[in-house]
């Protein structure tokens, strides 16, 4: 049950981030709040799934922490209505994509 809840937080968070980013590009007023709620859910997910292990896991967790900081910076830039949030969001997404392919499979 706990794993299902954590997985749900992950998917809802990323959907809110995607929806908030698209809504901000369409200049909707609610975009910042949706995006920020997605980032908060993502931060909760990252805190709940922190694991300690070998050097490789620690390095990948550090990369995830850096991408989470970039998501938060994107929120701040979006709030200030600066266009730099797009660049920080792009870098964070690329880091998350790399980590998702490099993270070891838990089913082994």
Domain that holds residue 30: 2-102
In-domain check, residue 33 = yes
In this prediction, the residues of the chain whose per-residue pLDDT falls under 70 are 106-108
Tell me, yes or no, if the pTM score tops 0.85: yes
Q: What is the pLDDT of residue 106?
A: 65
Q: What is the pLDDT at residue 105?
A: 74
pLDDT at 57: 86
Number of domains in the chain: 1
Beta carbons within 8 Å of 35's beta carbon, 6+ residues apart: 16, 17, 20, 21, 23, 24, 74, 75, 78
Residue 27 in any domain: the answer is yes
Residue 1's pLDDT is 76
- 108 lies in some domain: no
């Amino acid at each position: 049950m706990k794993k299902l809840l954590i997985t749900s937080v992950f998917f809802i968070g990323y959907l809110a981030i995607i929806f908030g980013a698209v809504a901000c590009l369409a200049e909707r007023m609610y975009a910042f709040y949706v995006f920020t709620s997605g980032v908060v859910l993502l931060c909760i997910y990252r805190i709940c799934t922190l694991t300690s292990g070998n050097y490789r896991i620690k390095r990948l967790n550090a990369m995830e922490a850096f991408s989470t900081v970039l998501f938060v910076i994107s929120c701040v830039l979006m709030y200030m209505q600066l266009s730099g949030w797009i660049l920080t969001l792009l870098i964070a997404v690329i880091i998350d994509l790399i980590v998702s392919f490099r993270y070891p499979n838990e089913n082994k």
